[in-house]
């Protein structure tokens, strides 16, 4: 099965002038202020910063998970405030194996925007290629806010139950120990959704954060690639997007995100 690498950007592309608008998505679940602090300390020249909690998620409620989808119009306005419109060429990066850049990719793709390309290897690969960090923060290049449709390609808990009843394969993207219920560092309940299989999101990349080749991705997914319908989740709808990105590269653009993921599911227990 061939792999579409057009959604990947190589570090060397950013060593000179680029026509792309660059977005820094670095973030830490353990310290929500760390990503923005790292951005201020140094980033790829011209990059703007988008924060997982403030920009790529909506308000947290009783249900819906730890990182609910943002309101579509609010998200479109956030993008416009960065100069991003529906057809803007965007390159996004982080420093955690696509964990947060892929969330931006999914949100933009789901909303009908031109999907951003993700920097293979992230910020570390840019520096290793000879890139120089910049501390200048670009002035906002405000764009017109388009009328935003609803997000597509996701389900809530009721949609998940309907998809499972129809025979969909459910994929848990969390680490094996969390899937098995051996440890749970974030959510109040350990375990996984009944019927799910485990494909940890880290299997999409190497330890250095580089995307695996087509054979490596096919090995990551195995027979699950042949499932008629795939529904992917993680802890809160963030790292599942890395798995969804890899599926898109392999031609499976039809997979569904369970947006609230485990943190939504266990809120009903």
Q: What pLDDT was estimated at residue 38?
A: 99
Q: What are phi and psi of 233, to 5 degrees?
A: -140, 170
Terminus-to-terminus CA distance in the chain, angstroms? 40
Q: Record the tokens describing residue 187, joined without a space.
A: 């959510």
Question: Do the domains 154-268 and 8-128 match in fold?
Answer: yes
Please give the order of strands across the beta sheet that includes 256-258.
Answer: 154-155, 256-258, 230-233, 169-172, 197-198
- Whole-angstrom Cα distance, residue 36 to residue 56? 14
Token pair 């353990």 in the structure block, residue: 30
pTM for the full predicted model: 0.97
Could you give the residue numbers annotated as active site?
A: 234
Residue pair 239/70 in contact (Cβ under 8 Å)? The answer is no
Domain boundary assignment for the chain: 8-128, 154-268
Q: What's the pLDDT tens digit per position in 161-192?
A: 999 999 999 999 999 999 999 999 999 999 99
Domain 8-128 fold is Oxidized Rhodanese; domain 1 (3.40.250)
Q: What's the pLDDT tens digit per position in 206-231?
A: 999 999 999 999 999 999 999 999 99
Residue pair 102/242 in contact (Cβ under 8 Å)? The answer is yes
The residue ranges of the chain whose pLDDT is under 50 are: none
SS3 230: strand
Q: What pLDDT was estimated at residue 1?
A: 66
Cite the beta strand spans of the chain per DSSP E.
8-9, 21-24, 48-49, 90-93, 117-119, 154-155, 169-172, 197-198, 230-233, 256-258
Tell me how crowded residue 252 is: count the other CB atoms within 10 A of its CB.
17
Q: Record the tokens describing residue 208, joined without a space.
A: 């250095």
Asked if the 154-268 domain carries CATH number 2.60.40.60, the reply is no
Q: What pLDDT was estimated at residue 269?
A: 93
The angle at the Cα of 35, spanning 33 to 41, to the nearest 5 degrees, equals 105
- Angle between helix axes 101-110 and 240-249 (nearest 10 degrees) is 60
The angle at the Cα of 92, spanning 200 to 210, to the nearest 5 degrees, equals 45
């Amino acid at each position: 099965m061939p792999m579409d690498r057009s959604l990947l950007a190589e570090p060397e592309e950013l060593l000179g002038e680029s026509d792309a608008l660059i977005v820094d998505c670095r973030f830490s679940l353990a310290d929500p202020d760390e990503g923005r602090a790292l951005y201020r300390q140094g980033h790829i020249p011209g990059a703007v910063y988008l924060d997982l909690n403030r920009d790529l998620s909506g308000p947290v409620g009783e249900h819906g998970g730890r990182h609910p989808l943002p309101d579509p119009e609010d998200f479109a306005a956030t993008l416009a405030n960065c100069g991003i419109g529906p057809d803007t060429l965007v390159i996004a990066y982080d420093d955690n194996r696509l964990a947060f850049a892929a969330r931006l990719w999914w949100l933009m793709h789901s909303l009908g925007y031109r999907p951003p390309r993700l920097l293979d290897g992230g910020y570390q690969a840019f520096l290793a290629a000879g890139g120089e960090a910049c501390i200048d923060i670009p002035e906002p290049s405000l764009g017109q806010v388009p009328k935003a449709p609803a997000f597509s390609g996701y389900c809530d808990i009721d949609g998940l139950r309907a998809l499972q009843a129809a025979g969909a394969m459910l994929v848990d993207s969390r680490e094996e120990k969390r899937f098995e219920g051996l440890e749970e560092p974030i959510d109040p309940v350990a375990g996984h959704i009944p019927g799910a299989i485990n494909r940890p999101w880290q299997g999409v990349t190497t330890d250095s954060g580089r995307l695996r080749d087509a054979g490596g991705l096919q090995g990551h997914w195995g027979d699950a690639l042949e499932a008629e319908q795939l529904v992917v989740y993680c802890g809160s709808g963030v790292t599942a997007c890395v798995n969804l990105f890899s599926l898109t590269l392999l031609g499976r653009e039809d997979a569904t995100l369970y947006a609230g993921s485990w943190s939504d599911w266990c809120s009903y227990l």
